[in-house]
Amino acid sequence: MIAGQDDTENKPLHIAVIMDGNGRWAKKRGLPRTAGHQAGFRVARAIVEAVGKRGHDALTLFAFSSENWNRPNAEVSLLLDLFMRALQSEVDRLVKNNVHMSFIGERSAFPEKLREQMRIAEQKTERNDGLKLAIAVNYGGRWDIVNAARSIARRVQKGEITADQIDIGSFAEGLSLADRGEPDVLIRTGGEQRISNYLLWQLAYTEFFFSQVLWPDFDELELDRAIESFNNRQRRFGRTGEQVTGLDDA
């Protein structure tokens, strides 16, 4: 633990996750990629429950990127079908566990039935005041920034704001997750060490934890390793270490 900090003060409020390794997990076992995605869904359910029980405020999961459309059609179809069935089967569990569910990303590319299930899930959980669960689907960080730029450009056109009044705060209001704090820690499984166009703006001061564990093997012990790693870091936000710990007499 860093001097001048305790577990309560340094606890990550918002955790973001890139769930990577489903396909490699299945390949290692001689199974079709579909089996890896199904196993990954079960882990996602368990981690949502674990994060909620630990009292963290928010969890954002990268489920389907805007680049995932480039995968084989059969795999994309399976992912969408799995997503649909997961929504249908899990919403009541989320309601019971007081989880508020929302989705970020461009929904228009999805079939109408899937978009309707997403709306139903959001409506059923909108009054829950526990864990804020965001699922990133057909999401890309660059899309997010461009979308925010369009939003603020419309405000300028309407005369609601001048170009000179645009600042970091006003721009950020148009981004996904503007209603919650930016992620404190990003966990990426599968051994890759990149962010893959995920939350590009929001991760500016986020701590990264790259796990070698493939997502279907990720469990509460590995989650705790990520949180412990975060707890032992000193977040400076441009300040000196002495300023953070209150030991700077200057």
pLDDT tens digits for 116-174? Answer: 999 999 999 999 999 999 999 999 999 999 999 999 999 999 999 999 999 999 999 99
Q: Does residue 151 fall inside a structural domain? A: no
| pLDDT tier for residue 239 given thresholds of 50, 70 and 90 | low
Q: Does residue 241 fall inside a structural domain? A: no
| 68 is annotated as an active-site residue | yes
Q: Does residue 136 fall inside a structural domain? A: yes
Q: Does residue 112 fall inside a structural domain? A: yes
Q: How far apart are CA 107 and CA 112, in angstroms?
A: 9
Domain count, the chain: 1
| Non-local CB neighbours of 77 within 8 Å, separated by 6+ positions | none
Burial 209-218 (b: 16+ CB within 10 A, else e): bbbebbbbbb
* Six token digits for residue 233: 């870091």
Q: Does residue 127 fall inside a structural domain? A: yes
Q: Residue 35 sits in which domain range?
A: 7-140+182-235
**In which order are the strands placed within the sheet that holds 100-104?**
100-104, 132-139, 58-65, 14-18, 185-188, 207-210
| 20 is annotated as an active-site residue | yes
Q: Does residue 7 have a pLDDT over 50?
A: no
Q: Does residue 55 fall inside a structural domain? A: yes
Q: Of the listed 6, 7, 68, 73, which one is catalytic?
A: 68
pTM: 0.89
Q: Which amino acid is at 2?
A: I
DSSP-assigned beta bridge partners for residue 134: 60, 102
Q: Which amino acid is at 50?
A: A
Give the CATH number of the domain where residue 205 resides.
3.40.1180.10
Q: Does residue 50 fall inside a structural domain? A: yes
Q: Of the listed 6, 10, 20, 231, which one is catalytic?
A: 20
